Amino acid sequence: MDLRQRLVHLALRRPHALLVEVPGWWRTRVETERAMARRGWRPASSPAGADVLVVCGSPGADLGEVVDRVTDQLPGPRARVAATAPEEVATALDEAAARLADERAQRDDARDRTRADRADRADQGGDGGDDGGDDGGEDGGEDGGDDEDDGDSEMAPEGIPLAGSGPDRDGLEMDVLNVPLGPVLEHWPAGLVLRCVLQGDVVVEADVDVLAGGAAASPSATAAVTCDGAARALDLAGWGDAAAGVRRVRDLVLDGHHDQARRDLDRLAARVARSRVLRWSLRDLGRLDPAQARAHGLPDDAVGDVHDRLVAMLERARDGLAGRSDAAGDRSAVVEALPTLVHGLELAAVRLVVASHDPDTLGASRQERADA
Amino acid sequence: MPEVVTVGAAWAVPAALLLGLVAVVAASADAVMVARRDGVDVRTGAIAPLAETARLLRQPRRVTPAADAPLWRVGRGGLLVAALLMVAVVPWGSWVPADLPVGVVWFNAVDVTVWAFVWLAGWGPNAAFSLVGAYRFLAQALAYELPLMFALTAPALAAGSLRVADVAAAQQGLWFAVWMPVAFAVYCLGVLGFAVWGPLAPPTGGDIAGGVLAEVSGPDRLLLLAGRYALLAAGAVFAVPLFLGGGAGPLLPGWLWVLVKALVLVVALVAVGRRLPALRPDRFLELGWMVLLPAVLLQVLVVALVVVL
């Protein structure tokens, strides 16, 4: 084996994958996460950190377009694969690994991209090509950054309009920036797009949309879904260990090991409720009183702050497992309420508030379709 | 004055290698802990730093539109440089690459440069999430830096010298970590802070798509990740002469004791860091100034009283 091959071989021990979940393909995404963990693959937080893009489900036209743009941002060697059922996941990951290992194809891919990139720049008449860049990475973490042009259109270095400005919460004039959150974002509800107008990192205006899939698959086991939502909130609170524990419970439920799942969940829920650091960190974030919750049509357990809702989510999962009540409630109304709920919060808080409400994007997109 | 020999410039290379070893062990330890958690063969965790390096060396550099290339480059490369400068003043038993009379101040000055490097790494790519990460780091640094500064003065005060070798030698019999636990704890939190690690990792958080790391790929990402582990390692290595008795210990030679103590501390930092939820930057400022700062000032007062009496 020469050095190059050895390098490739080593690199393939630890590919990083960015997951895109289409609403309705929850089960497929979960299976992908599990298969990745078994293989020692790591989740990526942004396209720049990913080798593989796994699309879980069949996206509709809008989501498909976003996925294409995100694929363009992968630095390469890269592979984009799709799985539309849990059984297809293993094959998809095998395929991704094989494509990453194919040196010749990856070299061709890199060359084609450089060419396409140059042609693009020539078309735009821009100077470009400052370093013969291999990559035309777009602005923004996830989907190409801001496209609305609020500022003077002639002031647009490299095609990106400069930020406009508006009055901020202290009555001063401050730059505004359009940053979409989602749909391809780690620990984020499937298909959700929250188009935020930011001043600094404070959301001053938001507008919500769900990019749905083709024919959606059936919804799945409630306790497991709730565990998954709680794990997401814990990850966003920066507590990866607890999140991994709750995810393991989710997997136990899916595999039918209910007794073990119940025991583990009891222990974890107690640990989460006990943690003083977590409570100190999440206390008073996104607080809702019962009247506000009712006004938005939210379930009763949406009352309180992020910490209360996280504890309630774990409680709900425990109830579901114990077969007590299946009080999951209808969590699709949350989607419509999100712009109001996140108004005036800074980005970290927005992420936590969204996760703590555990919005049901599949339900919301179905309702929208029924209304139309 | 204790005997330490300032070695020639060429000996900076072994010092850098030892730092690299501690950093690689930290990265491995982290990956092994993840592997054990996920129920995967721990060997895949142990070789993770190597696999990650190979993976990133295969990738091209990524360029974002209208990036501030020179400043971005400075930020990415700076972390590793800062870590190397920190360990330059650490005595490995009886030899030291640079025997500065103000070694403790030197360390502090270098850890402040990390502010600039992390911020520049986030500013450079001209992207929203990176910049949010960069400012998170500044908010956090504002909270940990002053407590860290006073935590560093406690051992220097007890030893009556800012020379690192003197501080190590002043701990004959009793480690400073034992009788100034508050200073030691605050110091460790400061290390987690400038290494952007564990509870103080929000500047690279998943909620902002990796923040400072959101737009970097290939060798650039490797530099940033290596720089973070190197800073964690440098913090652990510097803690040895400052709080853990330096190279003093039975049987083994001094430099090996420094290495062993640093390895134990760095693995402990990784493990503790994993077990804690994030300290959110907007709340951490309150903790830093209302709790940590008064606590560490009291600690310095106690040390001063002990020294005078």
Q: What is the pLDDT of residues B98-153, one digit of tens each?
A: 888 889 999 999 999 999 999 999 998 888 889 989 999 999 999 999 999 999 99
Residue A33 touches chain B, beta carbons under 8 Å: no
What angle do the packed helices B181-194 and B103-123 form, to 10 degrees? 30
Query: Quick check: B62 contacting A, CB < 8 Å?
Result: yes
The pLDDT assigned to A31 comes to 92
* CATH for the A3-101 domain, from 3.40.50.300, 3.40.630.30, 3.40.50.12280, 3.30.70.1560: 3.40.50.12280
Q: Does A186 touch chain B if contact means CB atoms closer than 8 Å?
A: yes
Q: CB distance from B169 to chain A under 8 Å? A: no
| A164 part of contact set with chain B, CB < 8 Å | no
**What residues contact residue A272 under an 8 Å CB cut-off, 6+ apart?**
A234, A242, A278, A310, A311, A314
Mean pLDDT, chain A, whole residue set: 80
Min Cα–Cα distance to chain B from A371, Å: 33
CA-nearest residue of chain A to B40?
Answer: A38
Q: Quick check: B25 and B267 in contact, CB under 8 A?
A: yes
Residue of chain A nearest B125, judged by CA positions: A139
- Return all residues near A122 (Cβ < 8 A) that are at least 6 apart: none
Q: What is the pTM of this model?
A: 0.87
Question: Cis bond leading into A359, ω under 30°?
Answer: no
For residue A99, pLDDT beyond 60: yes
Give the nearest partner residue to A157 out of B41, B66, B275, using CB atoms: B66
pLDDT score of A149 more than 60: no
Q: What is the pLDDT of residue A142?
A: 42
Residue located via tokens 């509800």: A189
Using an 8 Å CB-CB cutoff, list chain A residues near B51: 10-11, 13-14
Total length of chain B = 309
Domain ranges within chain A, ordered by starting residue: 3-101, 222-371
How many residues does the structure list for chain A? 372
User: Residue B125, preceding bond cis, omega within 30 degrees?
Assistant: no
**B221 vs B12: which has the higher pLDDT:** B221
Q: What is the mean pLDDT of residues B19-42?
A: 88
Say if A162 is an interface residue toward chain B (CB within 8 Å).
Answer: no
A286 pLDDT more than 70: yes
pLDDT 10s digits, A349-371 = 899 999 988 888 777 777 777 77
Suggest the residue from B52, B61, B129 to mutate for an interface test with chain A (most A CBs closer than 10 A): B129
ipTM for the predicted complex: 0.86
H/E stretch holding A354 reads helix A347-357
- Angle (CA) B73-B79-B83 rounded to 5° is 145
CA distance B64 to chain A (A): 5
